[in-house]
A = this chain, B = another copy of it.
């Protein structure tokens, strides 16, 4: 039984708390949050204690921590948790600074402690099925990947300002998906971005609509499309063209009812946002972490994976700024 300390009791922390509590191999022992009331409420619902992050890390009975705090604390907490010998599952991104993330990796690597980064989409059963079919050679050699990722609505500009920008905050998931599916880093990144959804996002120096093209050493190509706004909900699709066919992971819909009237034929929208769409992915992610810790096998998503995605985000940010392709250094 893995005794788990949860750092961060916000929206995503609450998702993890429920999954930790329900998993037969883990137990939510303690919750920490700078917002004491949030920590209290979450802990109470699961019979866990409220503790400080320091106290959790110092508690030898706690085997693992789940880091769901604000991004600027991730690297420090990963390092502290690793130093305390605790297995770590940390939300993405590792850090807004690639250099800082690399330093974190260097420190943690010495400790030998398992660290997993929370790229939950790898555990979506649909994306996982696409990956499995590709790896099984069902479409021959994968040549052209397309990732579609549109949010239902943009975040407040106040959030955008501290987010590190669309490429680090939002497209980071899609960069990881490209790394996951293609199995290697690209050699160059070309990004185009615009503020079409909200001019205030542009005024804050960020973009809300972007297309990024990744070129691989062997000539393969990936293209990622992001928009901060899809009026119809959360649009999350993959498409992989191979030498012998095409794989498409389509959206998950809210229900299967189709209505046909004089006005046309209509059906359900996609699941609204990540809490709904990736509900089962979060469950599977936690299960994979617990299993790897238990078995002593490598984590399915490593700190290295977190840094690879961040490297692409940094390159894309630079490319969008300069209007030129940027060479990737892994």
Contact = CB atoms under 8 A, between A and B. Distances in A.
A328 interface: no
Interface stretch (A84-92, A102-110, A217-225): A217-225
A11 interface: no
A245 B219 contact: no
Given A143-B209, A192-B190, A192-B213, A232 B257 contact: no
A229 B260 CA distance: 13
A262 B249 contact: no
B219 A195 contact: yes
Interface string A231-259: 11101000001111111111111011111
A269 B125 CA distance: 14
A230 interface: yes
B247 A258 contact: yes
B267 A209 contact: no
19 contacts: A139-B231, A144-B209, A146-B225, A190-B192, A192-B221, A197-B243, A209-B219, A211-B213, A213-B213, A223-B223, A231-B245, A231-B262, A232-B264, A246-B260, A249-B257, A250-B258, A265-B266, A266-B266, A324-B324
A35 interface: no
Which are the 6 A-B pairs with shortest beta-carbon distances? A194-B219, A245-B261, A232-B260, A266-B266, A250-B256, A246-B260
Given A190-B192, A213-B211, A230-B241, A257 B262 contact: no
Interface in A179-217: 188, 190, 192, 194-197, 209-211, 213, 215
Contact of A194 (B196, B220, B250): B220
Given A133-B257, A255-B126, A143 B227 contact: yes
Nearest to A128: B255
Interface string A18-33: 0000100000000000
A145 to B, nearest CB: 10
A213 to B, nearest CB: 5
Interface string A286-329: 00000000000000000000000000000000000001110000
B248 A258 contact: yes
Given A143-B197, A144-B211, A247-B259, 18 more contacts: A22-B22, A129-B255, A129-B257, A139-B259, A144-B225, A209-B219, A211-B223, A230-B241, A231-B243, A232-B246, A244-B261, A244-B262, A247-B258, A249-B256, A249-B257, A251-B256, A253-B265, A264-B266
A114 B139 CA distance: 47
A123 interface: no
Contacts of A146: 225
Contacts of A247: 257-260
A119 interface: no
A113 interface: no
A170 to B, nearest CB: 15
A55 interface: no
Contacts of A99: none
